[in-house]
């Protein structure tokens, strides 16, 4: 019976069947990978695009980036300072969660997308000071609606940039490729 099966596999129909199975397995794997790379659900469908279009600077809402390790998420008081004055806030279904949160005093539970593992000590300030722009890592936020992370933020990506920016400066290269610069 096994022999018959193998023989059948050698027939054109069998070859097609093998092809389909392989394709299916590949698609499943690809789908699995795809699911792990999705942007998470956010409590508010926050359109970065719109806000950037109004000319709001990144640092207005994420001021920590220039001062310290964490860029920070704006407090809802900050959101409200503007939205309070915008008529649409009262009517828009999109903005209802913000209104509810502010009125009820509940926190908005954002899910940051640009994240590094807990064993990486990342400092925004140093990167801004080194002349990096937000979009270098976070992508063109002005074209994004809900936040997504355009980069695979892995170590190779970090190192690549570190090595490039060190250039010929040997001392800088040593500092920027030192394990202890990010891991402790």
Partner 1 sequence: MATLNDLKISEVKLSEGEGGKWGMVIDQDICTGCQACVAACAMENNISFVGEEDSGYGRSMHWIRIERFWEGEYPEVKMTPNQPMLCQQCGSAPCEPVCPAFATVHSQAEKLNLQVYNRCVGTRYCANNCPYQVRSFNWRDYKRPEPLANQLNPDVTVRRRGVMEKCTFCIQRIHKAQDQAKAEGREVMDGEFTTACAQACPANAITFGRTDDPRSLVSQLAKRRGHGAKHLEELGTLPNVTYFKGG
Partner 2 sequence: MTDHKNHAEHAEAHLREKHLMLDPLPRGRMNEMVMESMRHITWKFWVVFGILAAISAYGLFYSWGVMIAEGLGVAGVNRPVYWGIFLVNTVFWIGISHAGTFISAILRVFKAEFRRPFTRAAELMTTFGLVQAGFSIFMHMGRVWLSYWLMPYPNQRLLWPNLHSPLSWDLLAITTYILGSTMYLFLPLIPDMAMARDRSTGWRKTLYKILALGFRGTEGEWTHLRNAMNIFAFAIIPVMFSVHTIVSWDFAAATRPGWSSTIFGPYFVIGALHSGMGAVITVLAIIRGTMKHMKYFIRPEHFDAIGKLMLIISMTWAYFFFNDYMVQWYGGDKWTKQLLHFHEAGPMGWMWFAMLVCNVVIPWAILWNPKWRSTPWLVSTVGIIINVGMWFERYIIVPISLTINRMPFTWRMYQPGIEIPLGIGTLAFFALLYMAASKLIPLIPVWEVQEGQMAHELKKFGRETVVTVSELE
Partner 3 sequence: MSEKFSRRDFLKLAGMGAATTAVLTGCGPASRYVKREPYQQMPEYNYNGQSTYYATTCRECAAGCGLVIRTIQGRAIKTEGNANHPLNLGKTCARGQATLHGLYNPNRVRGPIKHARGDRLYAKANDPFNDNFDDAEPNMSWDEALQTVADALTKYKPEEIGFLMGMAPDHLFDLVTDLANATGINAPVRFGALGMFESRATLSKAAETLFGEARMPFFDVGGAQVVLSFGANFLETWLSPVSYTRGFASLRQAETKMRGKLVQFEARMSATGGKADEWVPLRPGTEALVALAIGRLASEIRGGAMPRVFSSVDPIDVASKSGVKLEALEHIAAMFANSTGALAIPGGAALGQSNGLAVAEAVLALNALADNFGKPGGVYFSPLAPSQTEYQRPASAKEMQDFVQKMKDGKFKALFIHGVNPVFELPASMDFKGALANVEQVISFATFPDETAAEADFIFPDHHGLESWGYQRVVTGSDLPVLSGAQPVVAPYYDTRAAADVLISAAQLAGGSFAQALPFKDEVEFLRGKVSALMGEANGSFSAMDAVAFMASFQQFGGWWKMSDGRTAPSAADALNQNVKGDAAEFAGEGEFFFIPFVSPTLAEAGANKPWLQELPDPTTTVMWNTWLEMNPETAHELHIEYDDVVRVVSEAGAVELPVYVYPAIRPDTVAMPFGQGHTAYGRYAEGRGVNPADLFGGHFNEAGDLAFAGMKVKIEKTGKKRPLSRLESMMGVYGVGLGEEH
What residues line the site for partner 3 (CB under 8 A)?
1-2, 5, 8, 24-25, 28-29, 31-33, 35-38, 40, 63-64, 67-78, 101-102, 105-113, 115, 117, 149, 153-154
- Min dist CB 163 to partner 2, Å, is 9
- Min dist CB 101 to partner 3, Å, is 8
Q: Does 178 bind partner 1 (CB under 8 A)?
A: yes
- Min dist CB 117 to partner 1, Å, is 7
Which of partner 3, partner 2, partner 1, none sits in contact with 156, Cβ below 5 to 8 A by type? Answer: partner 2
Binding flags for partner 1, 120-159, as an x/- string (CB under 8 A): -x-x-xx--x------------------------------
**Token digits of residue 146:** 């809900």
CB 42 within 8 A of CB 144: no
**What is the DSSP annotation of 51-63?**
HHHTT--HHHH-T
- Min dist CB 143 to partner 3, Å, is 20
**Token digits of residue 116:** 């590094």
User: Whole-angstrom Cα distance, residue 71 to residue 115?
Assistant: 11
**Please, what is the end-to-end C-alpha distance for the chain in angstroms?**
60
Counted residue by residue, the chain has a size of 184
CB contact set of 139 (below 8 Å; sequence gap of 6+): 148, 149, 150, 151
Task: Tell me which residues in 98-157 interact with partner 2 (CB under 8 A).
Answer: 154-157
Residue with tokens 């915008």: 86
- Min dist CB 83 to partner 3, Å, is 14
The smaller minimum CB distance to partner 1, of residues 164 and 171, is found at 171
CA neighbours closer than 13 Å in the CB half-sphere of residue 92 = 14
CB contact set of 168 (below 8 Å; sequence gap of 6+): none
Binding residues (CB under 8 A) for partner 1: these are: 117-119, 121, 123, 125-126, 129, 170-171, 174-175, 178-181, 183-184
Binding residues (CB under 8 A) for partner 2: these are: 154-157, 159
């Amino acid at each position: 019976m096994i022999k018959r099966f193998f023989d059948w596999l050698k027939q054109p129909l069998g070859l097609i069947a093998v092809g389909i199975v392989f394709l299916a397995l590949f698609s499943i794997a690809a789908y699995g990978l795809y699911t792990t790379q999705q942007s998470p659900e956010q409590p508010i469908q926050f359109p970065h695009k719109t806000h950037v279009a109004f000319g709001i600077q990144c640092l207005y809402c994420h001021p920590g980036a220039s001062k310290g390790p964490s860029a920070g998420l704006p407090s809802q008081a900050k959101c409200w300072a503007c939205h309070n004055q915008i008529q649409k806030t009262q009517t828009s279904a999109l903005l209802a969660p913000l209104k509810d949160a502010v009125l009820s005093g509940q926190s908005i539970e954002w899910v940051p997308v640009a994240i590094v593992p807990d064993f990486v000590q990342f400092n925004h300030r140093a990167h801004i000071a080194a002349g990096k722009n937000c979009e270098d890592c976070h992508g063109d936020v002005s074209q994004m609606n809900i936040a997504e992370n355009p980069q695979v933020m892995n170590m190779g990506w970090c190192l690549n940039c570190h090595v490039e920016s060190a250039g010929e400066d040997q001392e800088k290269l040593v500092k920027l490729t030192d394990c202890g610069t990010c891991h402790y």
